[in-house]
Amino acid sequence: MNLDFNKNDDFMRLEISDLKRKKAVILKGGGKDKIKKQHEKGKLTARERIDFLKDPGAIFFEIGLFAGYEMYSDYGGCPAGGVIAGITYIKNRMCIIVANDATVKAGAWMPITAKKNLRLQEIAMENRLPIIYLVDSAGVFLPMQDEIFADKDHFGRVFRNNAKMSSMGILQIAAIMGSCVAGGAYLPIMSDEAIIVNKTGSIFLAGSYLVKAAIGEEIDNESLGGASTHCEISGVTDYKAKNDEDALKIIKNIIDKTAENSKAGFNRKESKEPKVDIKNIYGILPKERNVPYDMKEIIKCLVDNSDFEEYKKEYGQSIICAYARIDGWSVGIVANQRKSIKTKKGEIQLGGVIYSDSANKSARFIANCNQKKIPLVFLQDVTGFMVGSRSEHGGIIKDGAKMVNTMSNSIVPKFTIIIGNSYGAGNYAMCGKAYDPRLIVSWPTAKIAVMGGEQAAKVLLQIKKSTLKKQGKKITKEEEEKLLSDIVKKYDLQTTSYFAASRLWVDAIIDPTETRKVISLGIDAANNSPIKEKYNSGVIQT
């Protein structure tokens, strides 16, 4: 192994170590004191509830761990968005769990909390997975009600999705394990079955103080909306549990007796480990994001037996299209290439740029995968589409539109891994967040933005200089350097994988060695939802 490989390996290991440190802080939720108070009430924490509910040894792939990261500093932050959520197995059945973290703002809903809940409901609907709500929430975080209450994708959308999932036959089970007030009371009761924990769970539209203020009635919260009230008098809830553990056992029993879904039938054979050590990725991916490398070497670390069949190998080489298997699952891979290639016209530095021929090749390959019902995996390290007069005259916009069109209309599940750069329209064409990937994750090395910081700084500097010139002014060299530095710093902060994950532009930040596991889990989830529609790419200009 050469010196560059070792340097890259060291850099990636430091990035992963930093990722683990950041995760460890978030996993503490609201902190030791809040966890202690939860235990003193006889309640488990959200993470303890999930651990008890899932099958022993089963994976829990957490969605949105970094939701809200370094956001809401004026309110003391919001670790994991105040809700723990992800995909796991209960009684050997793949399920989604969404658990309010009462150690964070008493489980109150911040804007990112709503966004995270909606993302988990979206995953449940796309993959037809049962969804379990472990409710322990003080309701909407009132100081930010204007950012969570009234818009289409705000708090109310959650209840709309409850109704939609019910009509789709997607099982929803709710356990009321703490407070559940006001509009939030609809979530568990719009679920198919509701459990309430005696003495610690309560549910009502208005608590005792508001009832007193509104109608003058004096009543305590337990009599108003506790377990005995709703299991014996109102009939609002279906099961009374003695404690948290009992409630979770009831959920397990319900899941255990639920019929399996029909399967989509995606092709799977016996899984084989890659011949190339997956940890080689650490040394292959360059530390500097503008240094070329061969994406095929990354693919060899990810696919079964390190074996793949490349489609149109000699044509449109800035994108690799290949058939392969990942953990036994048949996949179609669309990956950006960054290495230099030799052509009859000389050596070309591809640099993750999408050319017209690559876009055309990708569009055809994506259509072929849809015809064969093969899930698509996008490996993103893209700086955008090729620019300049030659590309514009050659119809790069039209060719890029073909790729976006076929990808947008795909009926097979899509999975996106952001390895490095994810800039501009390249993010879109390579199945960015806006294009409904079933799962979208990034490595710590990901950079997501309209363009790189350096390019953005140069563009904005030109605009600034042009504006000053019209005013009869000039920018000094010192001012120019400061402006460039400030813009690059701002862009570098806003393009990190953590900035993206905090806003749920990606579902998770993962160690590259977890990539196979995540893709396999995603296809396993998607296999629960048979494809019923017929593929139609729409109108494509030729």
Q: What is the pTM of this model?
A: 0.94
List the beta strands (DSSP E) in 274-383: 308-311, 319-326, 329-336, 340-343, 346-349, 353-354, 376-382
pLDDT in tens, 65-97: 999 999 999 999 999 999 999 999 999 999 999
* Mean pLDDT for the stretch of residues 54-73: 97
335 pLDDT more than 70: yes
Quote the pLDDT of residue 345.
64
Q: Which residues have CB under 8 Å from 498's CB, separation 6+?
A: 22, 66, 69, 70, 509
Interstrand relation of 353-354 and 346-349 (parallel, antiparallel or unpaired): unpaired
Count of other CB atoms within 10 angstroms of residue 75:
13
CA–CA dist 250, 202 (Å, integer): 18
* Mean pLDDT for the stretch of residues 210-238: 90
19 pLDDT more than 90: yes
Categorize the per-residue pLDDT at 540 as very low, low, confident or very high, splitting at 50, 70 and 90: low
The region of weakest confidence among 48-62, 99-113, 339-353 is: 339-353
Q: Rg for the chain (alpha carbons), in Å?
A: 26
Helix, strand, or coil (residue 134): strand
343 pLDDT more than 70: no
H helices of 285-395, where? 295-302, 356-372, 389-393
Contact indicator for 385, 424 with CB cutoff of 8 Å:
yes
pLDDT in tens, 373-400: 999 999 999 998 877 777 776 778 888 8
End-to-end distance of the chain based on CA atoms, in angstroms?
46
Quote the pLDDT of residue 539.
61
pLDDT in tens, 136-153: 998 888 889 888 888 999
Categorize the per-residue pLDDT at 474 as very low, low, confident or very high, splitting at 50, 70 and 90: confident
* Mean pLDDT for the stretch of residues 343-353: 72
352 pLDDT more than 90: no
Mean pLDDT score across all residues of the chain: 92
Q: Among residues 50, 52, 36, 41, which one has the least CA distance to residue 80?
A: 50
Q: Among residues 508, 500, 460, 461, which one has the least CA distance to residue 480?
A: 461
Quote the pLDDT of residue 450.
86
Categorize the per-residue pLDDT at 542 as very low, low, confident or very high, splitting at 50, 70 and 90: low
Interstrand relation of 131-137 and 172-181 (parallel, antiparallel or unpaired): parallel
Share of the chain above pLDDT 70, in %: 97
466 pLDDT more than 90: no
Residue with tokens 């005696």: 198
List residues bridging with 326 in a β-sheet.
329
List the beta strands (DSSP E) in 145-236: 172-181, 193-197, 202-204
Quote the pLDDT of residue 1.
61
363 pLDDT more than 70: yes
pLDDT in tens, 272-306: 999 999 999 999 999 998 899 999 999 999 999 99
The region of weakest confidence among 177-191, 338-352, 385-399 is: 338-352
344 pLDDT more than 70: no
Quote the pLDDT of residue 346.
62
